[in-house]
Amino acid sequence: MAYRDGRNSPFRRLLYIQIRGHRALKRDGVLFLIKKLVRKIKYLTFRTTCSIWFCKSLNEPVDSITAQLDIDIKFLVEDKSRLINWLRERNERFPWMYKSKEIELAETDKHIYVSILHNSDIIGYIKVGINNVYIHDFDKIVFFPKDSAFIYDTFILPEYRGNKIALYALSKTIHFLNKAGFQRLWCHIEKWNIASLKTFQKAGFTPKGSIRFSRVLGLPFFVKDGYMPLITLNTFIRE
């Protein structure tokens, strides 16, 4: 007879949800729970984001960049544990940093995490995806060709910004990927992120179009440049 773990039964899950709800009700009150429920329903029924997609040919040279601080760059493929722990510890303050789906796929497909250090302390990172990449903005896994890589997240601690660190780390990453045999590097940046837009354009990235993602009642929709429907992102990447 097969053993059944009662911890995963529907009854146990329902009981767990009830206990959590009761505790939250005692701690935060009815109004808080109602607001949380409304946010959850809104998230599930409608969600939209819009970003500009950029691409750079890695055969094109990159201008020499010098950071205004002493910076060390580490390219992590096999052992990302120190940086992943750093992301987990700061996730409450910066909630986009640590996503379990992203981390799991990064480990499985050997994504390249770029650790940016100052005096041996981590002060930022660049996440480079290859093959299958989980893009949190779309809640979707996107497949990239073997000759292409994708920067899906960059970050510098606020107290270190303004020292050309991001541009310096980006130039080193481009050089590393070029030596590794990649030919194209993609990224996507939301229109409001002016600092990142300037940094990537200075590094030679050119815009390939804007993509709006919407999820209505659970169904995803992609629209390019405001009016052209996209069946899949993979079609756009291969254009």
Q: What percent of the chain has pLDDT over 90?
A: 59
Query: What distance in Å separates the CA atoms of residue 222 and residue 64, rounded to the nearest whole number?
Result: 37
Q: What is the pLDDT of residue 60?
A: 85
Contacts of 33 (CB under 8 A, 6+ apart): 21, 24, 25
Asked whether the predicted pLDDT for residue 82 surpasses 60, the reply is: yes
- Within 10 angstroms of residue 205's Cβ, the number of other Cβ atoms is 23
Q: Per mean pLDDT, which range of 11-15, 58-62, 76-80, 141-145 is the poorest?
A: 11-15
Q: What is the mean pLDDT of residues 8-36?
A: 57
- Within 10 angstroms of residue 137's Cβ, the number of other Cβ atoms is 15
> How buried is 18 (Cβ within 10 angstroms: 0-12 exposed, 13-18 middle, 19+ buried)?
exposed
Q: SS3 of 86, please? A: helix
Asked whether the predicted pLDDT for residue 5 surpasses 80, the reply is: no
Question: CA end-to-end span of the chain, whole Å?
Answer: 54
Q: What is the pLDDT of residue 3?
A: 34
Asked whether the predicted pLDDT for residue 219 surpasses 70, the reply is: yes
Q: What is the mean pLDDT of residues 20-28?
A: 57
Q: What is the pLDDT of residue 32?
A: 59
- Within 10 angstroms of residue 178's Cβ, the number of other Cβ atoms is 17
Q: What is the mean pLDDT of residues 81-107?
A: 94
